[in-house]
Structure 1
Amino acid sequence: MKLIVSSIRLSLVLMVVCGLLYNLVVTGIAQAVMPHQADGSLVYDENQNVIGSELIGQHFVDPKYFQSRVSSIGYNGAGSGSGNYAPSHPDLLARVQKSLESWKKENPDVPVSRLPIDLITNSGSGLDPHISPEAAEAQIPRISKLTGISAEKLQELVKDHTAARELGFLGEPVVLVLQLNLALAELTK
């Protein structure tokens, strides 16, 4: 009986320490040290309405905006994942073919041979919010034609919204698509 009471007492103490106190301490530190990231890296409009997150890809329907990577989960931030298909899987081939046809229709001035792979393939999470600088540059002719903004100005905008490698050597430079499209929207007002 003594062993059972001790086991229950230890279990309750560990539940409070590990399940409650630890989470409160870690959340408190995150809120104090990096509140923007701890709250989901949300982006707000001028009326303080949430328009997205810096961490989750968005679907931009209007062709006058830069397009994000393809999402295998419909840009639904409630979950993440990918179909994890082999390159020869018929569903993957059909989706890539559909992406290629869409690209040709929306970007007749840019040959498929100049199409960066990240515009027709999805990431492992299906939610990556960034594209390569090459993917953004490939979209400039379409956006320039639809908005009337010069290609040079759009290239400057892409450059201004490109994040360098982490710590100068980790990863690749990426274009922050949501922020880029917000800046583009400001220019087209």
Structure 2
Amino acid sequence: MKKYIIPSLRLTLVLIVLLCIIYPVTISLAGKFAKGGGGGEKLIKNGKTVGYALLGQSFSKPQYFWGRPSAANYNAAGSAGSNKGPTNRDYLKDVQSRIDTLLKYNPGLKTAEIPADLVTASGSGLDPNISEQAAAIQIARVAKARKTSPEKVKQLVAINTNKPFLGLFGPSSVNVLKLNLALDNL
């Protein structure tokens, strides 16, 4: 019995030191080299923190780009999806309501042109990005509401578009909060 207990205790101690001390310290130090020093990339306007680059926020005014809907009401503490499937009547009503809102505020837009990311919530409910297509269909509305040219707004979208990693991995995306802050600085 002693033959099995002592190696088991040694292994337990080694794993405790490795997983409870060395690993967390290593990850914490690595985070210090990331944007925001491990606390998230804060976005500041007029000396005040207005949000974090990796957390979605609600924008509903016509002069702003609208982000992805949130099943968690953009509450980072309650991050979650809705768990409603594509045959759930409540889910279908929510999606149709979002489609109707987009069609109302974006005249000339057709239902077939609406990308899924503008009418369906992300898994976390906190997705800060939209697709390039989702940004493109909102340019006319935002330009009209801000009384500026669509070309200026389109240029801001291009500047704030994140290209795929190494040009290969993942789709292009636009961070909604960063784009809306850039619009406010026009």
TM-score by length of 2: 0.87
Q: Which runs of 5+ in 1 are unaligned?
A: none
Native 8 Å contact 1:42 1:54 kept in 2: yes
8 Å CA contact 1:130, 1:174 repeated in 2: yes
Matched, 1:67 2:66: yes
Counterpart of 2:51 in 1: which secondary structure? strand
Amino acid at match of 2:103: K
Q: CA deviation at 1:26?
A: 2.1
Matches within 5 A, 1:39-50: 39-47=39-47, 49-50=48-49
Secondary structure of 1:52's aligned partner: strand
Match of 1:36, SS?
helix
| 1:16 Cα deviation from its structure 2 partner | 4.9
User: Is residue 2:27 matched to residue 1:26?
Assistant: yes
Question: Counterpart of 1:94?
Answer: 93
Q: CA deviation at 1:87?
A: 1.1
CA–CA separation in structure 1 for the residues paired with 2:10 and 2:136: 62
Q: Deviations over 1:52-108 (max 9, x none)?
A: 111111111322100001111111111322123221111110101111121122222
Question: Does 101-110 or 55-64 show the bigger shift?
Answer: 101-110
CA RMSD of aligned residues (A): 2.4
Number of residue pairs aligned between Structure 1 and Structure 2 = 185
What is the identity, as a one-letter code, of the residue corresponding to 1:110?
L
Q: Once the two structures are aligned, what percentage of the paired residues are identical? A: 39
Poorly superposed stretches of 4+, deviation over 6 Å: 2-10
Structure 2 CA distance, aligned partners of 1:37 and 1:128?
21
Residue 34 of structure 1 and its aligned partner are, at CA, apart by 2.0
- Separation in structure 1 between the aligned mates of residue 14 and residue 132 of structure 2, nearest angstrom: 52
Q: Point out where structure 2 has 5 or more consecutive residues left out of the alignment.
A: none
1:114 alignment partner in structure 2: 113
- TM-score, normalised via structure 1 length: 0.85
Q: Which amino acid aligns with 2:55?
A: I
Structure 2 vs 1, CA of residues 104 and 37 (structure 1 numbering), >3 Å: closer, same or farther?
farther
Question: What secondary structure, in the 3-state scheme, does the structure 1 residue paired with 2:185 have?
Answer: helix
